[in-house]
């Protein structure tokens, strides 16, 4: 079987799109009934890696509100997740309690979070606030790196070269 290693980036992107699912729960308004401007709400996010898939390292969760003139996300405390401006682990850390349009959450378990095949992970109790009467959405997707050791193994070798040694 011939595999072109240059096809791996597209294969990993395809794997992420087809086998890693993201979900955002329904919002839970602080005041029962309906969300009004100035009122807060809670929601949860969940990511699931397909069974029989590949291990994912450095898992982080990218959240965005569709229109921040209608609702904003509240940066969670560091005890819930470390929030950054972009997916890089050295990107600007956001201040807990700040209102933002988007943020990337690094789970508090570590900055090198692993999502194994068949595993799911949730971050519960995230917060937002309504700004004005209308409707928008919260979107979430997972950023992760394929575990190269899982994909390729360590200590791989090629076929032996064999040369006869005739002794007469």
Write down the pLDDT at residue 72.
95
**Averaged over 25-45, what is the pLDDT?**
93
Write down the pLDDT at residue 33.
85
Rounded Cα distance, 101 and 79, in Å: 21
- Per the prediction, the chain carries an average pLDDT of 88
Domain 21-150, CATH class in plain words? mainly beta
CB half-sphere exposure, 97, CA atoms < 13 A: 0
Long-range contacts of 9-14 (CB under 8 A, 24+ apart): 12/146
The CA distances from residue 78 to 82, 95, 109, 118, in Å, are 5, 9, 11, 27
- Is residue 139 within 8 A of residue 101, CB to CB? The reply is no
Rounded Cα distance, 16 and 142, in Å: 8
Confidence of residue 111 (pLDDT cuts 50, 70, 90): very low
pLDDT, one tens digit per residue, over 121-153 is 999 999 999 999 999 999 999 999 988 887 776
pLDDT at 67 over 70: yes
Where are the strands (E) in 15-137, listed by range? 20-24, 28-29, 40-49, 56-65, 71-74, 81-84, 99-100, 102-107, 120-130
Rounded Cα distance, 19 and 28, in Å: 28
The residue behind tokens 């309504």 is 130
Percent above pLDDT 70 for the chain: 93
Residue ranges covered by each domain of the chain? 21-150
To the nearest 10°, the Cα dihedral for 104, 108, 113, 117?
-100
pLDDT, one tens digit per residue, over 94-105 is 999 999 999 999
* Torsional sign, CA 80, 149, 88, 17: negative
**Averaged over 79-83, what is the pLDDT?**
92
State pTM to two decimals: 0.84
The CA distances from residue 76 to 58, 105, 113, in Å, are 19, 9, 18
């Amino acid at each position: 079987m011939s595999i072109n290693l240059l096809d791996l980036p597209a294969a990993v992107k395809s794997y992420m799109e087809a086998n890693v699912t993201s979900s955002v729960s329904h919002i839970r308004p602080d005041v029962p009934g309906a969300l009004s401007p100035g009122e807060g709400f809670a929601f949860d996010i969940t990511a699931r890696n397909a069974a029989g898939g590949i291990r994912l390292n450095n898992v982080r969760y990218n959240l965005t509100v569709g229109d921040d003139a209608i609702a904003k996300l509240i940066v969670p405390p560091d005890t819930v997740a470390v929030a950054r401006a972009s997916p890089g682990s050295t990107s600007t850390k956001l201040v807990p309690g700040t209102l933002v349009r988007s943020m990337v959450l690094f789970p508090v378990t570590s900055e090198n979070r692993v999502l194994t095949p068949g595993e799911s992970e949730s971050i519960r109790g995230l917060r937002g606030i309504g700004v004005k009467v209308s409707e928008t959405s919260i979107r979430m997707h997972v950023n992760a790196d394929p575990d190269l050791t899982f994909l390729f193994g360590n200590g791989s070798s090629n076929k032996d070269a064999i040369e006869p040694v005739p002794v007469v």
